[in-house]
């Protein structure tokens, strides 16, 4: 085994010419850290086990990490996802192998919440429609009064989820003088009360909200959580925003509701299939604003995600528990405890 703590980065962090895809991800703290060696993997989706045989940690962007990504030599101790979604990672396989999975909630909290507010304001102000009218010249200007926006004072902002991003969204929306609803079976009731959020059942969020934002992870339980029946509960003048994961929403049902004008519109940074087929009917609609799962991509997002992953890697190198671990059960396993004790003995300070 190499004497260094070896860190791999998935191949999608670099372009074919070897330059960084995201220059705001500062790797200098890892390059300068004593005892750390970093390498970029060749692009492979999913990541292959043979690529990871000699590494202690993996920083993972978009490529998948499956059971077949785990080398039998048992060296890999950490998978650090660059972001908060981990539906591309086989969490159970990581736990069985004694590998901790960490994500970067602190890096995404504000950028994603800002994206939600951006979509809400763009939808209710009819920004895209008015942009198109302006480009038509005098005929477009003559139709301005046909596209009145919606004021937000005393309107209801509802959320499916009031965790990391959901709570930040409500925090940012406070000056708009809206009323807040949320459904979250795991909600911190004290935090919700501090934010002025009324916790209700899921169907009530859909019935009462003027704007609904999806802020929960994609799990087997949340796949198609927003289905035809729940969309049917929405007000005709309501908007749906999804910046979480596409499959949480039944996109066919949403498309039908938008086509039939049964709801006012939608703002989607995520889709059921990414990228969508060119003939996907949702692309033809004028009452939906779309973004390519990148609306929150800013210099600050990538700097924040990178810093969080770097900290997690260095924590493990020095025998400390990283934050936040998704599969916390791994922390109690003998394999993990042996690994962390070995790192502490070799690199701890």
Helix (H, G, I), strand (E, B) or coil at 197: strand
Contact 295, 270 (CB under 8 A): no
Distance separating the N- and C-terminal Cα atoms of the chain: 21
Catalytic option among 81, 155, 245, 339:
245
With CA atoms as reference, report the closest residue to 79 among 52, 110, 58, 55. 58
Instruction: Tell me if residue 245 is catalytic.
Output: yes
Catalytic option among 144, 229, 274, 338:
274
DSSP 300-338: HHHHHHHHHHHHHHHHHHTT---S-BS-GGGGGSHHHHH
Rounded Cα–Cα distance for residues 214 and 32 (Å):
40
With CA atoms as reference, report the closest residue to 130 among 117, 142, 144, 151. 144
CA 282, 245, 206, 266 torsion: positive or negative? negative
- Residues facing 9 on adjacent strands: 40, 59
Q: Tokens in use for 53?
A: 């045989």
Q: Tokens in use for 199?
A: 């916790």
H-run or E-run covering 159: strand 156-160
Instruction: Tell me if residue 204 is catalytic.
Output: no
How far does Cα 310 stand from its chain's mean position? 19
Catalytic option among 293, 338, 339, 344:
293
Q: Tokens in use for 93?
A: 């396989």
With CA atoms as reference, report the closest residue to 61 among 8, 105, 100. 8
Instruction: Tell me if residue 293 is catalytic.
Output: yes
Number of Cβ within a 10 Å radius of residue 44: 15
Catalytic residue IDs: 245, 274, 293
């Amino acid at each position: 085994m190499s004497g260094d703590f070896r860190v791999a980065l998935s191949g999608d962090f670099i372009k074919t010419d070897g330059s960084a895809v995201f220059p705001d991800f500062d790797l200098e703290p890892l390059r300068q850290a004593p005892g750390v060696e970093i390498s970029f993997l060749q692009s492979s989706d999913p990541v292959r086990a043979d690529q990871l045989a000699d590494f202690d940690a993996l920083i993972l962007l978009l490529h998948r990490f499956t059971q077949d990504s785990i080398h039998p030599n048992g060296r890999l101790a950490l998978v650090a996802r660059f972001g908060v979604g981990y539906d591309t990672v086989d969490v159970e396989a990581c736990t069985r192998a004694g590998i901790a999975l960490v994500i970067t909630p602190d890096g995404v909290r504000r950028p994603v919440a800002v994206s939600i507010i951006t979509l809400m304001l763009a939808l209710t102000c009819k920004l895209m429609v008015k942009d198109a009218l302006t480009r038509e010249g005098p005929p477009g200007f003559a139709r301005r009064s046909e596209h009145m926006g919606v004021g937000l004072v005393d309107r209801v902002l509802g959320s499916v989820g009031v965790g990391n991003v959901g709570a930040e969204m409500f925090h940012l929306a406070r000056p708009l003088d809206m009323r807040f609803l949320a459904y979250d079976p795991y909600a911190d009731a004290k935090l919700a009360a501090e934010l002025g959020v009324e916790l209700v059942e899921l169907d009530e969020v859909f019935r009462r909200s003027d704007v609904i934002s999806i802020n929960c992870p994609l799990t087997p339980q949340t796949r198609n959580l927003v289905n035809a029946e729940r969309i049917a509960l929405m007000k005709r003048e309501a908007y749906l925003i999804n910046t979480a994961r596409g499959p949480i929403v039944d996109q066919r049902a949403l498309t039908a509701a938008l086509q039939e004008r049964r709801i006012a519109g939608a703002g989607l940074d995520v889709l059921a299939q990414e990228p969508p087929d060119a003939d996907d009917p949702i692309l033809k609609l004028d009452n939906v604003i779309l973004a390519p799962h990148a609306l929150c991509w800013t210099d600050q997002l990538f700097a924040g995600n990178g810093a969080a992953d770097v900290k997690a890697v260095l924590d493990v190198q020095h025998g400390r528990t990283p934050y936040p671990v998704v599969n916390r059960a791994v922390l109690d396993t003998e394999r993990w405890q042996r690994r962390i004790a070995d790192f502490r003995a070799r690199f701890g300070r």
